[in-house]
């Protein structure tokens, strides 16, 4: 009985270490813009972002990765200090 992995044929595997998505930023129509002055760094936008595209936690100002933001506007809708505004994006 061979138990040498090199003889295995046709076994399709998923490699957890190299998984990743695609740049979905081009789905966006409106883009979220954070007003730094109003932001109190509560971290709620990062908690609720459906795309996990916002890096941030309490006491750390959030940063939106625009390569992945789909522009859904959940962050702007939920921000308790109304610090995020959805603006029409001018695409270059």
Partner 1 sequence: MADFDVIQGNKALAYGVKLARVEVIPAYPITPQTTIIEYLAEFVANGELDAEYIHADGEHSCMAMAVGASLAGARVFTSTCSQGLAYMHECVAQAVNYRTPLLLGVADRTLGWFWSLGPDYSDIMPELNLGYLVNFAESNQEVLDMTLQLYKIAEDYRVLLPTMMSLDGFFLSYSQERVWMPDQEVVDKWLPPYKAPYPIDPTINDKFPTASIPSVMHTPMRRIYEEILQDSRTVIKEVDASFGKTFGRHYGGLVEEYKTEGAEALLVTMGSMTTAGRRAIDKLRAEGEKIGLVKLRFMRPFPDTEIREIAAKVKAIGVVDRMMLHGTRGGGAFQDVKGALYNSGVKIPLQGFVTGMGGEDIPIDDMYLMGKKVLQAAKNKRIENEVEFIEHKMPPMNEPVTIDWDEPIYPGSDGCAGCGASIIVRHLLKTLGPNTIVINPPNCGGVNYGQAVRVPWILANFAAAAAYETGVYRAMKKKGKADKVIITSFAGDGGTADIGLQSLSGAAERGEPIIWLCYDNEAYMNTGIQRSGMTPMFSATTTTPAGKVIAGKQVRKKNMEMIMAAHRIPYIATASLSYVPDLERKIKKAVEITKAGKGLAFLHVHQPCPTGWYFPENKTVEIGRLAVQTSAWQLMEIDEGNFKLNLKPKELRPIAEYLKPQGRFRHLSEGQLEFVQKDVQTEWNALLELEKRIRFPGY
Q: Which stretch binds partner 1 (CB under 8 A): 1-9, 34-42, 70-78?
A: 70-78
Other CB atoms within 10 A of residue 24 CB: 14
Q: Is 47 left (phi over 0), alpha (psi -120 to 50) or beta?
A: alpha
Q: Site mask, partner 1, residues 12-51, x = CB under 8 A?
A: x-x-xxxxxxxxx--x-------------------xxxxx
């109190």: which residue's tokens? 40
Coil, strand or helix at 45 = helix
Asked if 83 interacts with partner 1 (CB under 8 A), we say no
Residues that bind partner 1 (CB under 8 A): 12, 14, 16-24, 27, 47-53, 55, 65, 67-68, 70-74, 76-78, 86
């Amino acid at each position: 009985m061979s138990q040498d992995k090199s003889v295995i044929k046709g076994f399709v595997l998923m490699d957890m270490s190299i998984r990743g998505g695609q740049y979905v930023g081009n789905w966006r129509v409106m883009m979220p813009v954070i007003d730094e002055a109003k932001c109190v760094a509560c971290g709620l936008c990062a908690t609720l972002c459906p795309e996990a595209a916002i890096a941030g936690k309490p006491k750390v100002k959030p940063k939106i990765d625009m390569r992945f933001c789909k522009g859904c506007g959940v962050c702007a809708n939920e921000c308790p200090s109304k610090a995020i505004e959805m603006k029409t994006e001018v695409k270059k």
